[in-house]
A = this chain, B = another copy of it.
Amino acid sequence: MDTVSETANDSKLSVRYYGEKTESLGDAVLHLTAVEISLDVDADRDGVVEKNNPNKGSWKWGPNGHGAVLLVNCDSETTYKKTLDSEVDEINKVSGDTLLNLFLLPEHKLLKLFLKDYIMVVGTDTLTEEVPYLGGKTELAFFVEGLRFPDKDFDGLVTINLSLLEPCGKGFPETPIFTDTVVFHISPWIMTPNTLKPVEVYVCSTNDNYTFLKSIKNLVDKCGYKLKICYEYMNRGDRWMQDELEFGYIDSPHHQFPVVLDSPRDGDLQDFPYESILGPDFGYVTRNALNEKVSSLDSFGNLEVSPPVTVNGKSYPLGRIIIGVAATRGRNMTQVVQDFLWAQKVQEPIALYSDWLVVGHVDEFMTFVPAPDRKKFRLLLASPDAGYKVFKSLQKKGHGEAEMFPGLPEVISVNEILSDKKLQAENRYVQNCIDWNRDVLKKELGLDDEDIIDLPILFKVLEEKTGPRAVAYYPDMVNMIVLGDQLGIPKPFGPKVNGRCALETEVCSLLEPLGLKCTFIDDFAPYHKLLGEVHCGSNVLRERSPFRWWNLEL
């Protein structure tokens, strides 16, 4: 039969047969009903559901891959009722003396499928539903939404089945005679590197950061981005906007929106991501440390992502996630968050060693800035060696009496700094720790020395209960905010030569040749003294990458 039946038994086949009993020829007519069933999705990833794609039942990565994409419905209506964000998937239903049965096995906690206005829902508590019978060549549109992000115990693939059931007579259950299956991959949560275009800058207003806030506002205004200020009623004095949340996004051929990952840190800013950021087309996801102690390494100043890189021929067009952990024993990022990050797969994480710092965040010793040449970015590293080089050069040029921290109570001369043997030993130790990370970053990001710029920064080491740990000696310039080619850098309060801070001069001479513009922002009292800097006190929502995650070759 080459066409679907309009009514039951509307096709006929004449059969001539030899009757064994009558021992003569007989004629019979066979009545036929053609039923065509197809559960359809956008398996070719063009944003439109197509008819019965032969590849709809499997999922393959890459530009020549196939398989539909599903978003987790993790945003909210303004009324906090969940929206129907995911694309419509359609099945074609025809008339016939049959039943259709939609079912999910065994992944019923992973997605939800429903008809408009929730007439029928499959998922969560209901594994299976009969599809309402409409007759004819009707197409029935279903809505489907993901319920969980990929994680350690879930590879992101979900399946929906549709069975045609045949009645077997009174007293017997229907038996399935045909099953159609479609597969979705739920979009991973994807981070945005410093090289992507900013959209909005987030910062806290506190009772002591007015000047800082004004500097940030000036910079953001100059760049033409939006500034979002979190006020005290919400932040309750917690100024570490970088640490409470990380912006990312989810992406499908038909729709995409940003999703905030809420840190298990849960300082006084803890309600901000859920209360103020979650909204229509702005999703929210979090991971709670169940039986583990949350440490400073769980703050998202310790969660960054590299620009796109290629390493030994392997391409990471969405970059690689970077977190800080203990080298062998010590504080670590909570396992559930690590599991979540690794399970997203598309930005394979790198674990650096950050536990040598009091605060323990990777943003205290590294960042990425855009560049016009080479790999289109530079890795900036804090470097005590580079710091000493600047101070020694000042001394050599006769500026040994020039003063660090001019105008501040901490004032100290270049000569005094250079004669401090303890500080030297501490910075040798810090340089060792950073060099270890430098080696890992070179290897894991495929970088050459020419891709790295060392910024002159000194540290000092505090004797903590669990051992010695480092903090920045003067404002940690690498802990900057990157807004396109505009950099908001912690003002280092270095010794002045010819009226200009020698540390600022040095940093400008390193970065300006790349077309970058340096604005030095005074964060000394409200951030630096509290062991954070500009980056720790801000956050940037960026545009999504032009690269679509399903085009990765995994």
Contact = CB atoms under 8 A, between A and B. Distances in A.
Contacts of A289: none
Contacts of A103: 328-329
A425 interface: yes
Given A103-B328, A327-B163, A175 B432 contact: yes
Residue of A153, A163, A166 with highest tally of chain B CB at under 10 A: A153
9 contacts: A101-B328, A103-B328, A105-B325, A128-B328, A168-B432, A171-B468, A176-B328, A176-B353, A177-B432
A176 B327 contact: yes
Interface string A73-114: 000000000000000000000000000010101100000000
A335 interface: yes
Contacts of A127: 328-329
A433 interface: yes
Given A171-B468, A176-B436, 16 more contacts: A103-B329, A105-B325, A106-B335, A106-B338, A128-B328, A153-B153, A168-B428, A168-B429, A169-B425, A171-B425, A172-B426, A173-B467, A175-B327, A175-B432, A175-B433, A175-B436
Contacts of A432: 166, 168, 175, 177
B328 A429 contact: no
Contacts of A325: 105
A393 to B, nearest CB: 12
Interface of A: 101, 103, 105-106, 127-128, 152-153, 163, 166, 168-169, 171-173, 175-177, 325, 327-329, 332, 335, 338, 351, 353, 356, 425-426, 428-429, 432-433, 435-436, 461, 467-468
A138 to B, nearest CB: 22
A110 to B, nearest CB: 13
B436 A169 contact: no
B163 A328 contact: yes
Given A335-B106, A429-B169, A175 B468 contact: no
A383 to B, nearest CB: 15
A277 to B, nearest CB: 29
A172 B429 CA distance: 7
A241 to B, nearest CB: 28
A254 to B, nearest CB: 29
Nearest to A177: B436
A356 B169 contact: no
A461 B172 contact: yes
A429 B103 CA distance: 22
A343 to B, nearest CB: 10
A152 B425 CA distance: 48
A175 B106 contact: no
A106 B169 CA distance: 58
Contacts of A436: 175-177
A412 to B, nearest CB: 22
A175 B425 CA distance: 14
Given A105-B325, A153-B153, A175 B128 contact: no
A176 B153 CA distance: 32
A67 to B, nearest CB: 17
A325 B468 CA distance: 59
A103 B330 CA distance: 12
Contact of A175 (B105, B169, B356): B356
